[in-house]
Amino acid sequence: MSIAQHLAVIDRLCSEDFPAESGRSDVGTAGPGYHLAELQTSGDFWEDDGTGREETEDQYEADRDALSQRLADRWGAPDVFSLWSVLERSMEGEDIPEPWGVLSCHVPNVHLWQVDGRWVALGVSQWDKELPFQLVALITETDPP
């Protein structure tokens, strides 16, 4: 997908109602109070010597930054919000509201805006070092923890 296509997905999700039940959507997952779009997904790294993974991570962060700049042109500079402490608090037993609890398991930080009563976040996801990277966009009505 191109940046224009990513923007179109984000715009659509910002105006859509949230589903009553959690499940898959046409662009990722959704549930009560959120849409999580998987904008771009890399290949996996099972056979990688480490160089391909680093290059891919750099490219996904550059793609996030480019998309973030386009959104910043509309909404102003984003807050960069670390999810590390959210993950740590979750692991210590604190009940973190979704979608932030699950997001913190695989996205270390997000670029974050509040737009028309909703939060829009961009991040780079990777569940484990052998698994693909994803460029993700979260649209939610749940305040960040």
pLDDT tens digits, 49-74: 767 888 999 999 999 999 999 999 99
Nearest CA to 59 out of 36, 41, 47 is that of: 41
Q: Which domain holds residue 62?
A: 3-140
Does residue 67 contact residue 109 with C-beta atoms inside 8 Å?
no
In a domain, 23, yes or no: yes
Q: For the chain, how many structural domains are there in total?
A: 1
**pLDDT < 70: residue spans in the chain:** 48, 50
Residue 145 lies in a domain: no
| CA distance linking residue 80 with residue 132, whole number of Å | 23
Residue 56 lies in a domain: yes
* pTM exceeding 0.85: yes
